[in-house]
């Protein structure tokens, strides 16, 4: 169930779009009615309602001034006013370009939240206040105010004392500051927590915050968690953590005399599909090329200075950026651009640039490769031929994907 703060945050981020829809439909007509919709209370003082309108409008400085005055009064709902005041101060900090001003706003916000927690232990805003306090503490630590780290550490240590939401808020804050310190606590939730909803949130936190060190834990969770939704979430994040790989494999060859006139035109690269060999080492790939070009090419061998190189990309990035050129014989080779198709993660498309080192002329080659078929680029320079096998592994399979791992 969404928290009050999350509901209001969505409203703020949407601006007045929601209000416009409601007016058109004959519903509520302004921020004050939105506030009443969120928390019905006919006894609420009008001055607090007016102060909260500035919050809903995103007018944070006006909200701070109005709420500060109200929090100093003897009115009702001071606990709620303290919460909105702290939120407004944090928003002002986020908009400030001055580090000292940011720290001052957030330090003041912590003071207001400390009062909320101390003076109103039975408040319905207590959990929201504690959660916001953890977030602001993490921001202060990131800005060098390390004394606030104890607030986060204390919340993490008090696993049995708070709600599930607060436990996750504390772990999220800790993970952003010190991932290794948070990892054992997340692991404990996944291994011992009975609440499947909490385990799902732990999986989400693990997938977003960690890379390879999380793979073993996610793999175990995907296989053995009793809840199918937790297993599904773990499988999803496990796939996202496993990098895709695009491997360039280089061979040189000699054009046979009988094929001098019929083989690929000189200095004009050609691209064709190459059926994937069951053998993935250099000898296996070389044997497959030898069979394909029997009678046309001889002396097909891995390029002696560099037989291959592999680029690793995490699937969530989806776009593969330009690489530095690699000199292979008479040519420089670089990956100019590439894109993974999110709808078809088993394939990649892109462009290879082959530059003739002597003439300086560049030859762009658009390519496509998948897990069932490699791409093969052939470029001829005199009687010598450069063959480039492009092998793509999406990282979706359970086993390791490096083609020269064996």
pLDDT in tens, 161-191: 567 778 888 888 887 777 778 888 888 888 8
How would residue 103 be classed by pLDDT, with cut points 50, 70 and 90? very high
Please, are residues 137 and 103 in contact by the beta-carbon 8 Å criterion? Answer: no
- Do 272 and 307 lie in a common domain? yes
Domain end residue (candidates: 223, 241, 259): 241
- Do 217 and 255 lie in a common domain? no
Question: What pLDDT score does 70 carry?
Answer: 92
Element (H, E) at 287: helix 282-292
CATH of the domain at 49: 1.25.40
Reported pTM: 0.52
- Do 99 and 235 lie in a common domain? yes
331-341 and 326-328 as β-strands: parallel, antiparallel, unpaired? Answer: antiparallel
Q: How many domains does the chain have?
A: 2
The CA distance from 236 to 45, in Å, is 48
- Do 276 and 207 lie in a common domain? no
Domain end residue (candidates: 241, 258, 281): 241
The CA distance from 22 to 400, in Å, is 53
Is the confidence at residue 23, as pLDDT, over 60? no
Domain end residue (candidates: 241, 263, 292): 241
Q: Answer yes or no: is 384 within a domain.
A: yes
Q: CA Rg, the chain, in Å?
A: 30
Residues 209-235, mean pLDDT to the nearest whole number: 82
Question: What pLDDT score does 169 carry?
Answer: 85
User: Among 391, 405, 403, 398, which residue's Cα sits nearest to residue 242?
Assistant: 398
Q: Answer yes or no: is 52 within a domain.
A: yes
- Do 116 and 194 lie in a common domain? yes
Bridge partners, 388 (sequence order): 250, 377
pLDDT in tens, 248-268: 889 999 998 888 887 877 767
- Do 234 and 248 lie in a common domain? no
The CA distance from 112 to 84, in Å, is 10
The CA distance from 38 to 109, in Å, is 23
**Residue 275: domain span:** 244-393
Question: What pLDDT score does 338 carry?
Answer: 62
Q: Answer yes or no: is 197 within a domain.
A: yes
Q: Phi and psi for 174 in degrees, rounded to 5?
A: -65, -40
Residues 366-391, mean pLDDT to the nearest whole number: 85
- Do 80 and 210 lie in a common domain? yes
Residues 81-97, mean pLDDT to the nearest whole number: 93
The CA distance from 221 to 219, in Å, is 5
Three-state SS at 313 = strand
- Do 96 and 237 lie in a common domain? yes
């Amino acid at each position: 169930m969404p928290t009050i703060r999350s509901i209001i945050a969505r409203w703020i981020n949407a601006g007045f779009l929601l209000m416009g829809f409601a007016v058109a439909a004959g519903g509520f007509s302004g921020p004050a009615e939105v506030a009443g919709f969120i928390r019905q209370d006919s006894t609420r003082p009008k001055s607090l309602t007016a102060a909260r309108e500035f919050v809903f409008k995103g007018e944070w400085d006006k909200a701070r001034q109005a709420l500060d005055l109200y929090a100093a009064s003897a009115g009702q709902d001071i606990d709620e006013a303290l919460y909105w005041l702290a939120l407004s101060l944090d928003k002002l900090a986020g908009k400030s370009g001055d580090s000292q001003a940011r720290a001052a706003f957030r330090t003041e916000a912590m003071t207001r939240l400390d009062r909320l927690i101390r003076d109103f232990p039975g408040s319905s805003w207590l959990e929201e206040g504690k959660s916001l306090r953890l977030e602001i503490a993490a921001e202060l630590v990131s800005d060098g105010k390390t004394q606030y780290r104890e607030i986060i550490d204390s919340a993490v240590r008090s696993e049995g004392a708070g709600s599930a939401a607060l436990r996750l808020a504390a772990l999220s804050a800790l993970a952003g500051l010190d991932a290794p310190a948070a990892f054992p606590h997340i692991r404990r939730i996944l291994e011992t927590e009975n609440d499947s909803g909490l385990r799902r949130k732990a999986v989400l936190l693990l997938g977003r915050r960690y890379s390879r060190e999380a793979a073993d834990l996610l793999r175990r969770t995907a296989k053995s968690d009793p809840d199918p939704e937790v297993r599904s979430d773990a499988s999803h994040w496990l796939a996202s953590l496993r990098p895709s790989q695009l491997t360039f494999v280089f061979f040189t060859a000699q054009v046979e005399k009988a094929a001098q006139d019929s083989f690929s035109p000189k200095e004009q690269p050609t691209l064709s599909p190459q059926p994937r060999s069951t053998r993935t080492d250099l000898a296996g790939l070389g044997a497959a090329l030898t069979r394909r070009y029997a009678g046309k090419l001889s002396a097909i061998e891995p390029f002696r200075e560099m037989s291959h190189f592999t680029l690793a990309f995490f699937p969530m990035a989806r776009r593969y950026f330009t690489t530095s050129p690699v000199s292979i014989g008479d040519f420089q080779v670089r990956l100019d651009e590439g894109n993974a198709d999110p709808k078809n993660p088993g394939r990649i498309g892109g462009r290879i640039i082959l530059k003739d080192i002597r003439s300086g002329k560049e030859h762009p080659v658009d390519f496509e490769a998948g897990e069932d078929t490699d791409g093969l680029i052939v470029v001829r320079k005199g009687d010598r031929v450069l063959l480039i096998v492009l092998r793509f592994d999406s990282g979706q399979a359970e086993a390791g994907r490096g083609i020269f791992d064996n």
